[in-house]
Amino acid sequence: MSRELIETGLAHSWTAVRIARHIEHPESVVLTARLERACAGFAVMQFAEDSAHLNLLAVRPQYRRRGIARQLLSWLHESAVTAGTFVIALELRATSAAAHAFYGALGYRETGRAVAYYQGVEDAIRMTRDLRINDGVLRAPQG
């Protein structure tokens, strides 16, 4: 799915072995969304010291605009808050208007652009979200 839906037109860097490492890594969360017995979407997020990095997120075209990515991201947000991590960062392909609109709708804000970030051929847009704000529900750390 990553090759088909995210790394389209690029050399495939997200190999099965790389994904398997994330599945086994204690500081990564790998999620799949199942619908009609099919794998409709997936996400991979990795925790670091003070923030988490959303590496991959995709939903198959026939299942889009049903809130699946929103649900995947909301699961990841809950995991991050539970871990005491409130800042989520990501990069997306500059040409990906759908992803830009999606993250914008989910409260992510653009923080910059990385020129030729994707294998020297395409820019990345960097976006972040602080889960303590823009959430509708304030989730400040307790105590």
Ligand X SMILES: CC(C)(COP(=O)(O)OP(=O)(O)OC[C@H]1O[C@@H](n2cnc3c(N)ncnc32)[C@H](O)[C@@H]1OP(=O)(O)O)[C@@H](O)C(=O)NCCC(=O)NCCS
Residue 65 lies near ligand X (rule: CB under 6 A): yes
Size of the site for ligand X (CB under 6 A): 20
Out of 24, 49, 63, 91, pick the active-site residue: 91
Residue 45 lies near ligand X (rule: CB under 6 A): no
Q: Return the number of the residue (58 or 131) whose C-beta is nearest ligand X.
A: 58
Token pair in block for residue 41: 């979407």
Residue in the structure block whose two tokens are 């605009």: 65
Answer whether 113's CB lies under 8 Å from 124's CB: yes
Burial class (CB in 10 A: 0-12, 13-18, 19+), 142: exposed
Q: Is 7 a catalytic residue?
A: no
Residue 19 lies near ligand X (rule: CB under 6 A): no
Answer for which of 58, 88, 124, 125 binds ligand X (CB under 6 A) is: 58
Q: Return the number of the residue (137 or 140) whose C-beta is nearest ligand X.
A: 137
With b for 16 or more beta-carbon neighbours within 10 A and e for fewer, the 63-94 pattern comes to: beeeebbeebbeebbeebeeeebbebebbbbb
Answer for which of 29, 44, 68, 124 binds ligand X (CB under 6 A) is: 68
Out of 7, 27, 36, 103, pick the active-site residue: 103
Output the CA angle 75-76-77, nearest 5 degrees: 90
Q: Is 108 a catalytic residue?
A: no
Characterize the bridge pairing of strands 87-93 and 109-118. unpaired
Answer for which of 105, 114, 121, 133 binds ligand X (CB under 6 A) is: 105
- Cite the active site residues: 91, 103
Q: Which residues bind ligand X (CB under 6 A)?
A: 5-6, 56-59, 64-70, 92, 96, 98-99, 101-102, 105
